[in-house]
Structure 1
Amino acid sequence: MKPRPRPERRHGGTEPMIPDWAPNIHPLVVHFPIALLAAAVVTDLLSVVVSRRPALREAATWLYCAGAGTAVAAYLTGSNAADSMLLPAEVTPLVDVHDNWAFRTTALFALLAAARVALPRFLTLKAPVWWGALALALLGTGMLYETAERGGQLVFQHGLGVQAITTDAPVEELIPELTADQVDPGPIDLGDGSWVWRPVQGAAAVLAEQFTWIRNGPAGLPAEMVEDAEKGSVLSLGAAGPEALAVAGGAIDSAQADVYVNVDDFDGELQILLHAQDAENYDYFAFDGATAALGRMEGGTATVFEEQAVDASGWLFLRVFGGDGHFRGYVNGDLVAHGHDDDLPPGPFGLKVSGSGTVLLERIQVQAVSD
């Protein structure tokens, strides 16, 4: 499945003519297609029942055109709004389902409106054709309902765009305190395939024994705990040879992974993997210090969904989400890449290090995401 075209993404700033209470323009336009398309269907029904009133049919056609036009505007502004937010794992699948329904609904009504305008200019359409068009519009109305229902859930259940939205559980609350004589127990199982790991004393052994090395081994990526002025004790990964690839955790379908790293002293590329099947098949979010790229390795061939130059240094918060045909990559809370493709089979989380120098790792949090 080829990536779906995306609207231009905006980062920061204020869009013109938006009131202070509105987080973006989407809430201001989303009601127009609902009202216009509902009015179009009612008018269309009357025009079919009262077949001797061509003015009703003409009115229905232009209502469909107006509804389709505002639906396109609602879809584009909604996609831009979603891309401007750091979405928590609990909300992301619902946003993607809402997006999918909105895309299908917009496409259906756009095609219907175009056909109603164009076909009568070249053909004489009989009553069965108009009944068929009405049936298609009724189907579209059902799709419009599905779209609006999920949009309502995002607003009224999760507060998306109107208040502090549902957030992921803070990692500090998930990791127990360790005493001085305890060593790193490794990734902590949170259930449903989710886990979290904050490296402490003994983390090098955890990396060697509890991670599965798919390419090269722990000897090729020497690890030790070091003291960082900002984060305290962190795990240092010394890359100096061929690329190293390791996975951890069980196979997960839709997933979100957060990795906190510093790559200032690393010359190369760090990849965060989801749905890792083997060394040549996985989804990835890559950062090389200057460019972030979201893509897929399939059969050893990389396909880049989207990449973007990123000016970021010091400690970085990298997030990648993949599931239900949607893929997102974030750097320090800003969406920098978004793609669409069919899902790979479930697979574990992974890290791939290619280059030389030192990667500092503070923590990893992987969440299984359900619809």
Structure 2
Amino acid sequence: MLPEWAPNLLVFAGHAPLVLLATGLVIDLFVLLRPKWDAGPAAATSVYVAAGVAAVIVYLAGPDAVASVYQVDGVTTVFEQHVTFRWYTLLFATIYGLVRLGLSFLPAVQELMITQVILVLVAAGGIYLSWQTTTAQAELVHRYGVGVQPVAEVRQQQAEEEEATPQGFTEREDAWSWTPTTPGAWKDAMTWVDGAPTDVQSFIFQPEGDGPPGLALYLRDATVLFTAPVEMRTADIRASLNVDAFDGTVSIVHNVRGAAFYDYLQLDENRLRLARREGSAVRVQDAADYGLQGWRSYRLIVERADRSGFVGDQMVVSGSDTPASPGTVGLRLSGTGLVRLRSMAVQPIPVEATEDTTDQQ
């Protein structure tokens, strides 16, 4: 049972990898100075294996701590740093622990001076990664209060605030708009075509500079596809997104007929792609390289058989395909990291307008 002052493992075990890695390094240095200390290598190996276990615990404890990251100025940047270095620390500590464990069965190799020097240098690099993780975690805990309030209490507080605050989702006739104002209520307004609401941790963030607040969506090696429950054949879709901290693909999906049947505008690193997915088959209509760093306003116009993708006011991709059956509109996220969203709005394009355009052509 964890103490009341440390309601989740991120606070309780957050410094353990750094302490254990530093302890292992001290033992390694002592072995270099006292080569005849027979128990030294075994002691160092045990400590490094323990560091790997601690890194796994810290990594798995992270999502619960997200529940406490709520409407706090500047916390998003620190959280992104913590997520990144926590992952690197996990990789290093587990791999290095296994390497040291393997070397314990090769004493002749382990006792070589060159081997010991290399191991010390590598361990020092791992300590740097763990130090960065711990520094960001300490700022989250001591500056922003992440993890020092029981998660159940935080979620109860959020639920009470959400009940008294509009969820930011507005549906009128055959159009809808979404400007997030609460971290969790939006999930009930969406239809989850692929994945589940529990695959996404979400919180409201306040930017450090000027600008409106937004919704941060955190995934860890997951895929979700959610849409608003409004079907349409044509659509004018606008979304304000920041995908800098996401390792994976983000797609604005439309004419969604199922988890594997939809059309989409995909944001993949610095590349835009217009495509249609039908089961296992993907048909790309157009693709182009384009810088997607920072906040971007995306627009996707779907007119019967024609599609056009914009970044700001510039059309970047366009293509055509057979007219799709009516379907819903939403987002598909696949990968690990943070996707930030300020707003999304969808309205149909009158059939008369598309027919007039076709006649003129």
Q: When the two structures are superposed, what TM-score results if normalisation uses the length of structure 2?
A: 0.50
The within-5 A match list for 1:107-256 is 182-191=164-173, 193-200=174-181, 202-206=182-186, 208-229=187-208, 230-256=210-236
Aligned residues: 190
Q: Which amino acid counterpart does residue 324 of structure 1 have in structure 2? A: R
1 CA distance for matches of 2:212 and 2:309?
Answer: 27
Q: Deviations over 1:53-112 (max 9, x none)?
A: xxxxxxxxxxxxxxxxxxxxxxxxxxxxxxxxxxxxxxxxxxxxxxxxxxxxxxxxxxxx
Task: Note if contact 2:309-2:315 (Cα within 8 Å) is conserved in structure 1.
Answer: yes
Q: Take 2:246 and 2:268, find their aligned partners in 1: how far apart are those partners? A: 8
Q: Offset at 1:184? A: 2.6
In 2, Cα distance between equivalents of 1:218 and 1:271: 17
Query: Structure 1: 5+ residue runs without aligned partners?
Result: 1-178
Distance 1:324 1:228, change over 3 A: same
Give me the whole-angstrom Cα distance separating, in 2, the residues matched to 1:254 and 1:182: 35
Quote the Cα distance in structure 2 between the aligned partners of 1:287 and 1:356: 14
SS at match of 2:188: helix
**CA 1:203/1:252 → structure 2, altered by over 3 Å: closer, same or farther?**
farther
Q: Which has the higher helix share?
A: 2
Alpha-carbon offset, residue 312 of structure 1: 3.0
Task: Determine if the alignment matches structure 1 residue 284 to structure 2 residue 264.
Answer: yes
Instruction: Report the Cα distance in structure 2 between the residues aligned to 1:231 and 1:245, rounded to whole angstroms.
Output: 27
Residue 111 of structure 1 aligns with which residue? none
Listed one character per residue, the Cα deviations across residues 235-273 of structure 1 (whole Å, up to 9, x for unaligned) are 000011221111113110111110101111111110001
Deviation at 1:182, TM superposition (A): 4.0
2:287 counterpart residue number: 307
Contact 1:220/1:241 (8 A) holds in 2: no
Alpha-carbon distance in structure 1 between the residues aligned to 2:345 and 2:267: 18
Unaligned 5+ runs, structure 2: 1-160, 353-361
Q: Percent of counterpart pairs with the same letter?
A: 26
> Could you tell me which residue of structure 1 aligns to residue 337 of structure 2?
357
One-letter identity of the residue aligned with 2:170: I
Deviation at 1:313, TM superposition (A): 1.3
Q: AA paired with 1:222?
A: Q
